Amino acid sequence: MVNMLVVDDEIYALKGITQGIDWSDLPISLILEAEDAAEAMRLLEQHPVDLVISDIEMPGLNGLELLRWTKEKRPNALTIFLTGHARFDYAQDALHHGSFDYILKPVDHDTLKLIVQRAIAEIGQRKERQQFEAMVDVNRRQWKSQLPILVERFWQEQLSGRVRLSAERLSRQLEYFDIPLTAEGSVLPVLLSIEQWDIELDARDESIMEYALRKSAAEIILAEWPGSVLQDRNELNMALLYLPEGGSADRAALLERCREYVQACQSYFHCRVSCYVGEPAAIGGLAAAIERLQQLERANVSAQQSVQDALRSGFETGGSGGSGIQMPSFAEWGELLDNGCHEQLAVQLEETLTQWQAEQASREALELFYHGMMTMLYRVAYRKGISVYDVFTVNELRDVQIPRNSLQLLAWASRMVARMGQELADRPRDASAVVAKVQSFILERLHTELTRDDIAACVYRNPAYLSRLFRKETGLSLSDYITVTRIERAKRDLVDTNDKISNIAESVGYVHFSYFAKLFKKMTGLSPQEYRKKHQVMR
């Protein structure tokens, strides 16, 4: 339905149109009348008018001036002009100004009605287009609001290694998700390792705070640089800096931003964070680049709240040992040991050092190799949750004289690798062994103040890495597991003993009785006294 306004200073002509024509068979809901342009403007401001039928020649403001005003105030309204033969040039001018059509006076009612029918059809089509465009705009806004989630899922799929895309399909997906990269572009990853919360958080609050940390990383680390900050399916938080084909990053600026971020996390979010800055990698190699950063994280047992640069991690990324000798990747060799492939590692050892013997490796290269091997062995033991002293004697680990040539170095390294490989083969290889050791450690020390650093130290793990491993294995964070275990022990003691409730609270690590009582009721729905009364009676 449309609203129509008829404007004419001749009252008989006006009434002839509004009342002399049968409009009942057209979808017109309201017909308004105005005897001059000023009155028409008032009505246009008061009513949503769709169609204006106006005389051109009127005293005061004429129809052309009304048309210009209408185009500004009611841009969707159509105008049909009435004009006399003497001023036909007005009609031509009106068409140039955007009127829908014109008709000569005296008005032929049937002709005017046909023009109005066409105008109503045009109005209907315009409204349909506007509704469609409004729907598209709503969907576009919804798409944009969902785009960060879709981009995060895209990178999660890439990091999972389950999806292998051709270059053509990868390019299409990058374009679809509005990621400013081509299939040949690269990504520089930064691992955001949350090491310790300085405030008490449950699992829900920790997830909320981690989201805030990712938002902060987007503002501080990426800022105006193109990229994404996300959490992968293993709960790793990371920033990905997009580098177009042939592009590079301002690494010094990136490291400085990471240091600023570490400080901001301490100051504003009450947590300790380290950043591990990786090397640019092709999209297909991003998962491996993240894994190398995880290796750095797992090996970092002393430099918390720091920024670690993978390019300056020494043996981690390989390099030259002087005199043209190429150092092996001790990180990759460590992965072979982790995966039980010590025989394959022994073959690579022999190939490398036999070649070094032929190339007459320098004393400097031999020293670098020796220290790289020693550090790798320490780190493998640490990652597996064992003490290196359970594998080697103290004398074997002392800084003994470094072998003088490649063949002596080969004999020493082969012996050390075989020993470590056999030790790992004799031990449980799954993460459950580490988690079981953590759970046992917690049970034995429920009465003490338990910190994540102390727990991680008992299994030779990086605290941030251990937290992710524990949550993955048990479905609980370390803090939630400690709380649940303490309350379960308290429930048992309340039923099995008549000890004072305050003593029971202290025995499970709660010095402040009021806090214990509040937490107990929150988790059980009963106060400690009510719980004891109910369950001791039931016995």
Number of continuous H segments (helices) and E segments (strands) in the chain: 21, 13
pLDDT digits (tens, 9 = 90+) for 260-299: 999 999 999 989 999 999 999 998 888 888 888 887 787 6
Q: Which long-range contacts (CB under 8 A, 24 or more apart) does 37-43 make?
A: 37/7, 37/61, 37/62, 37/63, 37/65, 37/66, 37/69, 39/7, 40/5, 40/7, 40/66, 41/66, 41/69, 41/73, 43/5
pLDDT tens for residues 324-377? Answer: 466 787 877 887 887 788 888 999 999 888 888 888 887 777 877 887 788 788
Tokens 């008005």 sit on residue? 107
How far CA 502 is from CA of 470, 513, 528, in Å, comes to: 31, 6, 10
pLDDT in tens, 457-498: 888 777 887 888 888 788 888 888 999 999 999 999 998 898
**Residue 3 half-sphere exposure toward CB, CA atoms < 13 A:** 14
Instruction: Determine phi and psi for 452, rounding to 5 degrees.
Output: -65, -35
| Confidence tier at 320 by pLDDT (50, 70, 90) | very low
Tell me what the mean pLDDT of segment 508-534 comes to.
90
The stretch 6-26 carries a mean pLDDT of 93
| Per-residue model confidence (pLDDT) at position 322 | 41
Task: Report pLDDT for 137.
Answer: 83
Tell me phi and psi for residue 230, to 5 degrees.
-155, 175
Among 140, 25, 127, smallest CA distance to 76 is for 127
- If you average pLDDT over residues 132-139, what whole number do you get? 85
Q: Is the pLDDT of residue 71 over 80?
A: yes
| Assigned token pair, 191 | 């691992």
**What distance, in Å, lies between the first and last C-alpha atoms of the chain?**
78
- Can you give the pLDDT at residue 36? 94
Alpha carbon distance 402, 87 (integer Å): 109
Interatomic CA distance for residues 108 and 296, integer angstroms: 89
Residue 184 has what DSSP assignment?
T
Contact 44, 70 (CB under 8 A): yes
Distance CA 285, CA 185 (A): 11
Residue 218 has pLDDT above 90, yes or no: yes
Looking at mean pLDDT, say which of 95-104, 392-401, 484-493 comes out highest: 484-493
Place of tokens 């049909």: 80
Q: Give the Cα separation of 352 and 368 in Å (integer).
A: 14
Total residue count of the chain as it appears in this document: 539
**Distant-in-sequence, close-in-space partners of 37: CB < 8 Å, separation ≥ 6:** 7, 54, 58, 60, 61, 62, 63, 65, 66, 69
pLDDT at 97 over 50: yes
Neighbouring-strand partners of residue 229: 239
The DSSP output letter for 301 is S
- Residues 394-408 have a mean pLDDT of 72
Rounded percentage of the chain residues whose pLDDT exceeds 90: 38
Sign for the pseudo-dihedral over CA of 391, 394, 398, 402: negative
Specify which residues 308 forms β-bridges with: 276
pLDDT value at position 474?
85
**What is the distance of C-alpha 356 from the center of its chain?**
46
Cα–Cα dist 465/434, whole Å: 12
Alpha helices in 360-512 (DSSP H): 363-383, 394-397, 406-425, 431-444, 452-458, 463-474, 478-496, 501-507
Give the model's confidence band at 163: pLDDT under 50 very low, under 70 low, under 90 confident, else very high: low
3-state secondary structure 443-455: HHCCCCCCCHHHH
CA distance 456 to 302: 12
Local confidence band at 16 (pLDDT 50, 70, 90 cut-offs): very high
CB 77 within 8 A of CB 105: no
In this prediction, residue 503 has a pLDDT band, given cuts at 50, 70 and 90, of very high
Q: Is the pLDDT of residue 428 over 60?
A: no
pLDDT number for residue 395: 74
Q: How many CB atoms lie within 10 A of CB 164?
A: 9
Q: Write the CB contacts of 378 (distance below 8 Å, at least 6 apart in sequence).
A: 388
Q: What is the mean pLDDT of residues 407-418?
A: 89
What's the chain's average pLDDT?
85
For residues 511 and 404, the model is more confident at 511
Residue 439 has pLDDT above 50, yes or no: yes
Q: Average pLDDT in the 60-74 region?
A: 90
Whether residue 220 has pLDDT greater than 50: yes
Note the pTM of the prediction, 2 decimals. Answer: 0.51
User: What is the rounded distance in angstroms from the CA atom of residue 58 to the CA atom of residue 74?
Assistant: 21
- Contact, 158 vs 282, CB < 8 A? no
Dist CA 74 CA 68 (whole Å)? 10
Going by pLDDT thresholds of 50, 70 and 90, the confidence category of residue 321 is very low
Residue 379 has pLDDT above 80, yes or no: no
Q: Where does residue 353 rank: exposed (0-12), middle (13-18), buried (19+ CB within 10 A)?
A: buried
From residue 522, how far is each of 190, 450, 487 by CA, in Å?
39, 21, 11
